[in-house]
Amino acid sequence: MAAQRRDEGPIEQRGTRARRRTAGRVDLDKETRPRRRRDASVLPGLLAIVALIGGPILAGVFAVPIRTTVVSAACRITACSGAGMVTAGWLVIALPLLILITGLLLGRRAGRIGQAALIVAGILAGLLALVFVPGRGSSFASIMRDAGAGADQMATGIRWGLLGLLAAGILVMAALMLAQRLRRPAGPGTATVAVVALVAALGVAWVRATPTYLAAADVFSEPTFTIGGNTLTRQSSADRRGCAGVLPDDGPLERAPCIRTLHVTFTTDDSDALVNFRAVLYSSNDDARAVRGALPDGLAPADAHGDVRTVFSVGGSWLLIGAVGHADGRGIQAADRGWLLWALKCVTYRFLGVQSGIGVEPTPKNGIGPRRP
């Protein structure tokens, strides 16, 4: 043994020591590498557990403001169109599945940060979807009531999104069973089947979507109508995006984002009263009420002709601006006020009745009534 050690030169000794150091590092890596992987996977798991336990509680507490905020944002983005609100509702349900499919397709290519982001996004999207799904003893009509303009259309998109999600689940299960029977791995085609089912449900929702609002020509489709003892004849009607030019100063109306404005003018059967009626659509009932509260009484529209009386009111998400005066622009006498405002009230009731589907005759009150009782 001593002879063998003497025969070993400095090169062999250094090589042996290097191999020992390398082996030590390999053993150290084997001990520490699994720990690092486990430590890296703990955080997303903890986030998932916290979100799944605490998320439904927070969602239940803040369900109403969350729904109102989402519906209002969707209305502003889509201009409250029927197809746009239906798509927003469908996306609420489809987004968690689309995020899951994206994560499965990307796999490790997303990286640790990307995977963690997808996990968090998927959990948040799932919790958001739960806020819009009615529980026991409730319905879409009850939870979406007073959520804002386009809430009914968004509920339609949610319903079809749920049906599409159910169809996607059935088709994916069938594809997995077929792949198992054929002893082949389930490829990207399985995810494609799920996406096709969801998109097909969106197409059906578009077909079944009803308009979020009616245009001026739809609300006042007849050239004349009789209500409250007055026969009113339409002189003009128009619709436009936004609310610019309605008042001399646009600032008060733009305290909240206005979606569109409906504008009609009518004269009474004796052609003595001229009613100038506008309805400005906002994304939520709260926005419409807030803008109404900031408007000073007596403010006349920008195109007011002669002496007029202006009335501001709110109907759901609509801010109603009505101005009435004599057709020839002459001054309004005290005896004229009641029947002039009655003509304006008739047009307002007509608008509210058509929008809500409930036609109600106005009743004389506070000195406001027909010219010829």
Euclidean distance between CA atoms 59 and 132, whole angstroms: 10
Whether residue 201 contacts residue 156, with contact meaning beta carbons closer than 8 Å, is answered with no
Euclidean distance between CA atoms 242 and 253, whole angstroms: 10
For the stretch 195-204, pLDDT in tens is: 888 889 999 9
Model pLDDT, residue 319: 94
3-class secondary structure, 308: strand
**pTM of the predicted model as reported, rounded to 2 decimal places:** 0.68
User: Which segments of 132-150 does DSSP mark as H helices, in order?
Assistant: 140-143
Q: Say if residue 332 is exposed, middle or buried (CB neighbours under 10 Å; 0-12, 13-18, 19+).
A: middle
List the structure tokens of 371. 């010219």
DSSP secondary structure code for residue 322 in this structure: E
List the structure tokens of 195. 């996406």
- Quick check: 19 pLDDT over 60? no
3-class secondary structure, 44: helix
For the stretch 346-373, pLDDT in tens is: 999 999 888 777 777 888 888 888 876 5
DSSP letters for 190-216: HHHHHHHHHHHHHHHHHHHPPPSS--H
Mean pLDDT of the residues in the chain: 80
For the stretch 105-131, pLDDT in tens is: 777 777 777 777 887 788 888 888 888
